[in-house]
Amino acid sequence: MIPFVVLGGLAMMSCSTNHADEGNATRVLLVTAVNGGNVLESDVRQSTNICPDMVALRVENHPKNPNAPIAGYRDDIVIERYEVRYFRSDGRGVEGVDVPYKISGSLAFEVIGGEATTLSVEVVRRQAKIEPPLSQLVNGGGAFIVTMFAEITLHARTTTGATTNAATGRLQIDFADFVGAETACPTNN
């Protein structure tokens, strides 16, 4: 009986959801702000244009051990890819029916060790706006506004090739066919 209790305790101790335990890097990647903490109003149609939605992500690069010596460029992290998954607070979540399909994309963005920076990520692609459920919002086609949440996950490695934790941030998006005078997609810096 005692061996089972000891093994069970060891197994429980090894299970952790702490981001510092993920990956084999000595660094931790954090998403500390998405769109400046603001709700994104996503227009499904601007005149005759279908525009993607970009948001700013503030990310930080910290050591797992704050007492570790500074290792120069070896402390830098390169964000290689991202994923965006959509969900709703009412529990409905069938992709292509209740929410847009999950997307992913490639990045090549460096975060210097011990620093914070901002990068831009496409959270809603044009394609999503011509497919259900977002296409149903055009010209009041059965719905007027839909609120969803985007979970943005970043995947990165250190410049030495070690895998970091997956860093996640969330964003509220209000989708609608906003009536406006815009005739061109907004530019992103």
Q: Is the pLDDT of residue 146 over 80?
A: yes
Nearest-angstrom CA–CA distance, 57 and 35: 6
Mean pLDDT within 79-89: 97
pLDDT of 20 reads 57
Our measurement of the distance from residue 78's CA atom to the centroid of its chain's CA atoms, rounded to an integer in Å, reads 15
Whether 51 contacts 16, CB under 8 Å: no
Angle among Cα 100, 102, 108 to the nearest 5 degrees reads: 130
- Sequence-distant (6+) residues with CB within 8 A of 26 are 63, 64, 65, 68, 71, 75, 158, 162
Q: What are the residue boundaries of the structural domains of the chain, listed by start?
A: 22-66+75-176
Residue-wise pLDDT tens digits, 14-52: 444 455 578 899 999 999 999 999 999 999 987 778 999
Query: Rounded CA gap, 169 and 56, in Å?
Result: 11
Q: Which CATH class name applies to 22-66+75-176?
A: mainly beta
Compute the mean pLDDT over every residue in the chain, rounded to the nearest whole number.
88
| Percent with pLDDT over 90 in the chain | 69
